[in-house]
Amino acid sequence: MPSQELVAIDTQQVSEAERADYWRANVCDTFVPLLVRPACDDIGGRIAGSSLAETHVRRIRAVGHEFERRPADIRRSDPEVLHFMVLNRGVTQVDQDGRTATLHPGDLLFYDSSRPFRFITPNALDYTIALLPKRLLPVSEQSVRSGTARTLSGNEGLPAVARDLARALARHAISDAAERQLALQHTLVGFLAALLPGEAAQTPSGAIHRRLARSFIEHHLGDPDLSPADIAAACSISVSYLHRLFADDGWTVAGYLRERRLQAAYEELAGGRNPGEPVSAVGHRCGLVDPSHFSRLFKARFDLPPGELRRTSGALPGSNVEPSSTAG
């Protein structure tokens, strides 16, 4: 059965009196907090799209607008996402990082949530936008900064493929298993990384696979049966290659998985959530289902039992340690 378009926002769903506030609030929630200034009082707009693991792809259609992300908006909330935009209709001007780009239908552009930007579309607008967490992209900050607000033609070659893929993902609800979603996200990440200045030659494919593997692990920490074979299959690589990727960072796959589970348990216990819940339930939720094994691992890692951490959490900082060295 064909996939159905996901309609997240439609101004026709609310009364005319509520329309302006409804539209502004939902644009900010769907993308990033910013100034939303319609070109006319008769606001009409619609947002549709789908999600792939941690990546969101949206299509927004509306009357003419000016959108501006200001320093105060960034201080309020920064999801640290790199946006990839396809202009489907109209003419749009985009300002960021000291550059101004003018887009016509079919053109592409990157912009970054972490720095101010402004969009001006005088007449009816139609954008397709992919929002990718920057930590998934194996690109340097310098490459991101040098790649924003630069018009790319989507008429041929790799940009045309990236344009068509983004449009297709925005049109269809993706309900496949997590492994399929990771594979599609991997494809999109690879295409977009290759479009950034200098990254096609500098970015090793292993960096992309490593980040995707870590992303898959984060989303499946609670699965006690998660195995290297599951992770490798989700990233469309062999188990032996997966082990080599983690070994390059001084880790075994099992050691990295164990460390992330322990850190997740630490953060939950130190945060004081669900104080009446058995400590063993926290371990179970983090994929460490044997209570005595969880307690032994936790004490060995953090020098105190999990129950003691919960009792003294007000006096202890969270671990928040990024795994960086061998842990078995």
Per-residue pLDDT of the chain (328 residues; tens, 9 = 90+): 333 446 589 999 999 999 999 999 999 999 999 999 999 988 899 999 888 888 899 999 999 999 999 999 999 999 999 999 999 999 999 999 999 999 999 999 999 999 999 999 999 999 999 999 888 887 778 888 999 999 999 888 788 888 888 888 888 766 666 667 777 787 777 778 888 886 444 445 677 778 778 888 888 899 999 999 988 887 778 899 899 889 988 899 999 999 999 999 998 898 777 777 899 999 999 999 999 999 999 999 999 999 898 888 754 444 444 454 444 4
**Cα 129 from chain centre:** 13
Q: Are residues 169 and 308 in the same domain?
A: no
One domain, residues 213 and 170: no
pLDDT of residue 4: 41
Q: How far, rounded to the nearest angstrom, does the alpha carbon of residue 56 sit from its chain's CA centroid?
A: 7
What pLDDT, on the 0 to 100 scale, is given for residue 2? 37
Confirm whether 110 is domain-assigned: yes
Long-range contacts of residues 204-207, Cβ cutoff 8 Å, at least 24 apart: 204/138, 206/245, 206/248, 207/138
Same structural domain, 248 and 170: no
Domain CATH number, residue 276? 1.10.10.60
Q: What's the pLDDT at 177?
A: 64
pLDDT on residue 327: 45
Cβ atoms of residues 109 and 94 within 8 Å: yes
Count of domains for the chain: 2
220 in a structural domain:
yes
User: Coil, strand, or helix at residue 130?
Assistant: strand
Is residue 171 located within the same domain as residue 215? no
Q: Are residues 161 and 217 in the same domain?
A: no
- 127 and 262 co-located in one domain: no
Alpha carbon distances (Å) from 16 to 2, 22, 23, 38, 150: 33, 10, 11, 15, 37
Query: Does 246 lie in the same domain as 113?
Result: no
Position 172 in a domain: yes
* Cα–Cα distances in angstroms (integers) from residue 267 to residues 54, 284, 326, in the given order: 21, 14, 21
Domain check: are 135 and 75 in the same one?
yes
Instruction: Tell me: do 103 and 238 sit in the same domain.
Output: no
Q: Which domain holds residue 244?
A: 208-315
Q: Cite the DSSP H helix spans in the chain.
A: 19-30, 71-76, 141-147, 157-171, 178-195, 199-202, 205-219, 228-234, 239-247, 253-270, 279-285, 291-302, 306-312
**Domain stops at, among 159, 176, 193:** 176
In a domain, 104, yes or no: yes
Q: How far apart are CA 85 and CA 81, in angstroms?
A: 12
Q: Do residue 162 and residue 261 come from a single domain?
A: no
Answer whether residue 193 is part of any domain.
Answer: no
Q: Are residues 172 and 229 in the same domain?
A: no
Residue 31's φ and ψ, nearest 5 degrees, are -110, -100
Written as six digits, the tokens of 206 are 């292993």
Last residue within a domain, chosen from 176, 196, 227: 176
215 shares a domain with 166: no
